[in-house]
């Protein structure tokens, strides 16, 4: 019989990797008629299938208070230990409530046992699984040892215990090979590599009446070269490389469009990019105020577009990141059959590059060969179509829903003994 899956995280809302990938898992699970339910501190999932517990969010005052006292130091006050235990006990009670209310058969902690944004939640999940023996699949996106902000702490005991725990009823999945290796070395547990995926079986949506005027609304002419950087403005995105590339293309009509804002990581990097673009003579556009998670009107009555509304209009996508856990924007660009300029960040080198994609590749700096490749992609329509078709086929082979479906069926069979009929 189909199972009820309970996804657990600090947040299921917006376009962060955890929210997006968990929704894809739920969609694929539904192919075998498994039903998904949601537990989190912030949620945009339907109220009828979710339980929202504010204390589970990493921005809840209790979590903020604890985090201020455990990072960047090696000793913690007794009161902090007391608060961690007290909040964890409360959250554990709400997990029991969640499982009972929705008849959960399999728990799916989404990054909640991976990165300690909310330490009491990780402790609560660990103790719940230890007490109940419920089968669970931990979906790990980015571990605490990958972030410098977590390198010094006063909670090594809790990190050893719960991030992630070693339990016989808990299966582990990771999104890249480096994480798989480190998890085995640090925790002594095996894991299944389940990369981020995309629904390549469906045709990419084309501009409709709502999105047909994207270029005009963001201030571009029809003959402008629309170069899209589909990321937030944070240093690890390497946007200065995109600016340098546009400068070296020497195309007066080239416009570099940044889709998202800096968010809560400060604006110093954005100011640097503005200054660098002026020095390089690059027309850079920041349109974060016109991009939203859903189509809607802003307070001034202007249309807000989704990222998917932008892709069909773009002539080129830049993705010069210095680090990514995987690279969802790359898959999106390939899905929309757009030429891509990408930097060789570590996960790309180890996991993605060997698959055989044909991309304009930066290895830390812009070379004459990269500029030549980009010019050909922009000017030779037949070559561009050939590259796009090749990359789409490779991505479909390695990163489609079919890949995820096989992985989940294997995990479910191993955990529960239940094997679905293959379609």
Strands 192-193 and 170-174, by their bridges, are parallel
Cβ(339)–Cβ(388) below 8 Å: yes
The residues facing 51 across adjacent strands are 39
Q: Are the beta carbons of 101 and 134 closer than 8 angstroms?
A: no
Same fold, 4-197+401-416 and 214-397: yes
The radius of gyration computed from the CA coordinates of the chain, to the nearest angstrom, equals 23
- Residues near 103 by Cβ (< 8 Å), separated by ≥ 6? 4
Nearest to 158 by CA among 119, 109, 112, 115: 119
Could you give the CA distance from residue 380 to residue 243 in angstroms, rounded to a whole number? 22
Spans of all domains in the chain: 4-197+401-416, 214-397
Confidence (pTM): 0.89
CATH classification for the domain delimited by 214-397, as one of 3.10.310.30, 3.40.50.2300, 3.40.50.2000, 3.30.1330.10: 3.40.50.2000
**pLDDT per position in the chain (423 positions), as tens?**
789 999 999 999 987 889 999 999 999 999 999 999 999 999 999 999 999 999 999 999 999 999 999 999 999 999 999 999 999 999 999 999 999 999 999 999 999 999 999 999 999 999 999 999 999 999 999 999 998 889 999 999 999 999 999 999 999 999 999 999 999 999 999 999 999 999 999 989 999 999 999 999 999 999 999 999 999 999 999 999 999 999 999 998 999 999 998 865 678 999 999 999 999 999 999 999 999 988 999 999 999 999 999 999 999 999 999 988 888 899 999 999 999 999 999 999 999 999 999 999 999 999 999 999 999 999 999 999 999 999 999 999 999 999 999 999 999 998 887 766 544
CA 327 – CA 189 distance, rounded (Å) = 25
Are β-strands 303-304 and 296-297 bridged in parallel, bridged antiparallel, or unpaired?
Answer: antiparallel
Specify whether the CB–CB gap between 66 and 20 falls below 8 A.
Answer: no
Q: What is the rounded CA–CA span in Å between residue 68 and residue 209?
A: 48
- Tokens 């725990």, located at residue: 165
Check the CA dihedral 61-63-64-70 and report its sign. Answer: positive
Tell me, which fold does domain 4-197+401-416 have in CATH? Rossmann fold (3.40.50)
Q: Spell out a b/e string for 138-166, using b for 16 or more CB atoms within 10 Å of the CB, else e.
A: bbbbbbbebeeebeebbbeebbebbbbbe
* Interatomic CA distance for residues 59 and 362, integer angstroms: 37
Coil vs helix vs strand at 294? coil
Q: Residues 6 or more apart from 162 whose CB is under 8 A from it?
A: 113, 119, 122, 123, 125, 126
């Amino acid at each position: 019989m189909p199972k009820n899956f309970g996804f657990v995280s600090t947040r299921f809302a917006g376009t962060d990797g955890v929210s997006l990938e968990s929704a894809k898992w739920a969609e694929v699970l539904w192919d075998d008629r498994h039903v998904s339910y949601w537990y989190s501190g912030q949620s945009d999932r339907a109220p009828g299938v979710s339980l929202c517990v504010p204390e589970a969010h990493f921005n809840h005052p209790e979590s903020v208070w604890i985090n201020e006292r455990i990072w960047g130091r090696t000793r913690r006050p007794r009161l902090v230990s007391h608060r961690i235990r007290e909040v964890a006990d409360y959250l554990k009670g709400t997990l029991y409530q969640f499982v009972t209310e929705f008849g959960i058969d399999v728990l799916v902690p989404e990054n909640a046992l991976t990165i300690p944004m909310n330490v009491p939640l990780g402790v609560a999940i660990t103790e719940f699984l230890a007490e109940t023996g419920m089968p669970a699949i931990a979906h790990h996106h980015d571990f605490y040892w990958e972030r410098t902000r977590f390198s010094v702490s006063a909670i090594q005991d809790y990190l050893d215990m719960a991030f992630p725990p070693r339990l016989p009823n808990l299966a582990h999945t990771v999104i890249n090979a480096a994480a798989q290796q480190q998890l085995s070395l640090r925790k002594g547990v095996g894991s299944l590599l389940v990369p981020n995926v995309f629904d390549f079986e469906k045709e990419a949506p084309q501009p409709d009446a709502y999105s047909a005027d994207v270029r005009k609304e963001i201030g571009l002419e029809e003959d402008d070269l629309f170069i899209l950087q589909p990321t937030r403005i944070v240093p690890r995105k390497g946007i200065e490389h995109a600016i340098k590339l546009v400068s070296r293309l020497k195309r007066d009509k080239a416009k570099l469009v940044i889709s998202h804002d800096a968010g809560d990581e400060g604006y110093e990097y954005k100011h640097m990019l503005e200054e660098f673009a002026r020095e390089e003579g690059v027309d850079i556009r920041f349109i974060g105020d016109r991009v939203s998670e859903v189509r809607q009107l802003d307070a001034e009555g202007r249309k807000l577009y989704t990222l998917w509304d932008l892709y069909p209009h773009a002539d080129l996508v830049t993705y010069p990141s210095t680090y990514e856990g995987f690279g969802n924007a790359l898959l999106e660009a390939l899905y929309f059959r757009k030429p891509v300029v990408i930097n060789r960040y570590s996960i790309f080198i180890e996991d993605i590059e060997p698959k055989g994609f044909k991309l304009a590749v930066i290895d830390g700096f812009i070379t004459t060969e990269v500029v030549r490749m980009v010019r050909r992609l922009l000017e030779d329509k037949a070559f561009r179509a050939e590259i796009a078709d090749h990359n789409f086929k490779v991505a479909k082979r390695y990163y489609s829903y079919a890949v995820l479906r096989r992985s989940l069926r294997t995990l479910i069979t191993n955990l529960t003994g239940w094997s679905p009929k293959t379609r």
